[in-house]
Amino acid sequence: MISSGSLPRVLHGSEGRPLSLAQHEEVFIAGTPFNVMHELEHSGLTGRGGAAFPTFRKVDLLRLQRGHNKSVVVNVMEGEPAAHKEFALAGANPHLILEGAQVLAGLIGAKRILVCVARDNPTVVNHLSRAIHELERRSLRGAKIELHTPPWRYVAGEESALVHWLNDNESLPQYRPERPSILRVGHSPVLVDNAETCANVALIARFGAEWFRKLGTVQSPGSTLVSLTGAVERSTVLEVSLGTPIRDILAAGHADMAPQALLLGGFGGTWLHGQHIDTPYANEHLGAHGASVGAGVMAVLPREACGVYETLRIVRWMANESARQCGPCAFGLPALAEDLTSITHSSKDPKAAYERLQSRCDSIEGRGACRHPDGVIRLVRSALIVFAEDIAQHIVGRPCTGTQRPKHTITIPSLEHEDELIWE
């Protein structure tokens, strides 16, 4: 029973198998009904998909739109390969996600809920489709829930790419010049929200904003899911209160307590130097080091590993995952990977490659339709700062031994065509 302001919240009650509808209703006994919009506004909930946009503002914007066939899209795509928090959530409390989606549908006046899960993960698809069937058997009133399974790509989890897939069967991010802009499925406006955000909305609707704010900080209230990978005993997903010092999170996940650096946010996030592990895990504190919570990824880099090499591997993979709609991203990211290769392996004038890398970062930034290249640039720039000493060594031709380790720290899905980065 969730009444006190303690953890776990969205991961409550799970023991490895997803909760059935009966168990779900028993665990999350409803509190007093609230004015949900009011509670949502006062809770200060922000999106848990990476952008941290205030959920209330998004819902408010959609509520004012005209459209007789509005929908809510639940994003369970888990675009970040290093993260597995959506899957953990779907494997624990799928009904919480669906309930949150129903609440949002009620708020904006939507008649449909489109749950989008990557088809490459049949377990999660199964969990969610079972949960949807249970709801259908109960024939509860509410929006109609549909399950969609787009193919998994990095950009497929981006909200405009997801909507484009729903419309035209291709996961391509769209150009959105006006902010705020409304996404549409067909001609009707659509609200796209992350699965964890939906789960938090369900909890807020049941227990209120006061309860929600019992955890977290004033500026970053509530709890969040963290995917801990890298130099850890076992990759885990932890639910933490925002504002917890990172050191405590590492301890709870049995991670390397003296890491060289941490990758925060995701492959499009930032490196945080190991000396800052006492920083509270919240955007207002991480911002001072140029980092952010992002998609909840925390990858631990041990001292023996080579940070530049790990960055190189990530950048190469991200370059291959580009949708290649925009020139600066399609050609710029592989060029960044090339320069990083020159630096890491000290081949072909690494000093010039280093200069070129910085000017290319300045040149490419902000010129894509989506924020994919910006994420890669953010990662590269943070690597140049955090691993500055290591890079200096690489440039003069004394690379560290980290490049020869047999098993790399950060797991990267295999490149489809390793040797043909972008040409067809």
Partner 1 sequence: MIAFTSTYFWYTTRATGIVALLLLTLVVTLGTLVANRIGGTFVGRFELNELHRSVSVVAMLFLFVHILTTVVDSYVSTGIISAFVPMTSAYKTIPIAIGAVGFDLLLCVWISSLLKVRIKNESWRFIHWFSWLAYTSAIVHAYMSGSDTHDGAGLLLVAGCAGIVLNVALWRYFGRPERAAGRTALSPIPRAKTIPQRTDSTSRAFPTQKPRRR
Partner 2 sequence: MGVVRRRSGSFVLKVNPILCDGFGHCHELAPELVDVDEWGYPIVATEPVPLSNSGVLQSARYAVRGCPRQALSIERSHDAEKPQ
- Say which entry of partner 1, partner 2, none residue 181 contacts (CB below 5 to 8 A, set by partner kind): none
CB-wise, 181 or 358, nearer to partner 1?
358
- Say which entry of partner 2, partner 1, none residue 368 contacts (CB below 5 to 8 A, set by partner kind): partner 2
- Say which entry of partner 1, partner 2, none residue 422 contacts (CB below 5 to 8 A, set by partner kind): partner 1
327 contacts partner 1 (rule: CB under 8 A)? yes
DSSP state of 280: B
- Say which entry of partner 2, partner 1, none residue 266 contacts (CB below 5 to 8 A, set by partner kind): none
Quote the least distance from Cβ 311 to partner 2, whole Å: 22
Query: What gap in Å lies between CA 343 and CA 359, rounded to an integer?
Result: 15
- Say which entry of partner 2, partner 1, none residue 362 contacts (CB below 5 to 8 A, set by partner kind): partner 1
Query: What gap in Å lies between CA 300 and CA 310, rounded to an integer?
Result: 11
CB-wise, 125 or 364, nearer to partner 2?
364
The candidate with the shortest Cα–Cα distance to 157, out of 232, 73, 234, is 73
DSSP-assigned beta bridge partners for residue 298: 228, 264
Q: Are strands 297-301 and 261-264 parallel, antiparallel or unpaired?
A: antiparallel
Buried b (16+ CB within 10 A) or exposed e, 117-140: bbeebeebbebbbebbebbeeeee
182 contacts partner 1 (rule: CB under 8 A)? no
CB-wise, 48 or 372, nearer to partner 2?
372
- Say which entry of partner 2, partner 1, none residue 383 contacts (CB below 5 to 8 A, set by partner kind): none
CB-wise, 228 or 361, nearer to partner 1?
361
DSSP for 127-196, written as a single string:
HHHHHHHHHHHHT-SSPEEEEE-PPP-SGGGSHHHHHHHHHHS---PPP--SSS--EEETTEEEEEEEHH
CB-wise, 10 or 364, nearer to partner 1?
364
129 contacts partner 1 (rule: CB under 8 A)? no
Q: Which of 120, 134, 365, 374 is the binder for partner 1 (CB under 8 A)?
A: 365
Burial of 242 (0-12, 13-18, 19+ CB in 10 A): buried
Burial of 202 (0-12, 13-18, 19+ CB in 10 A): buried
Size of the site for partner 1 (CB under 8 A): 16
> Which parts of this chain interact with partner 1 (CB under 8 A)?
323-327, 330-331, 358-359, 362-363, 365-366, 422-424
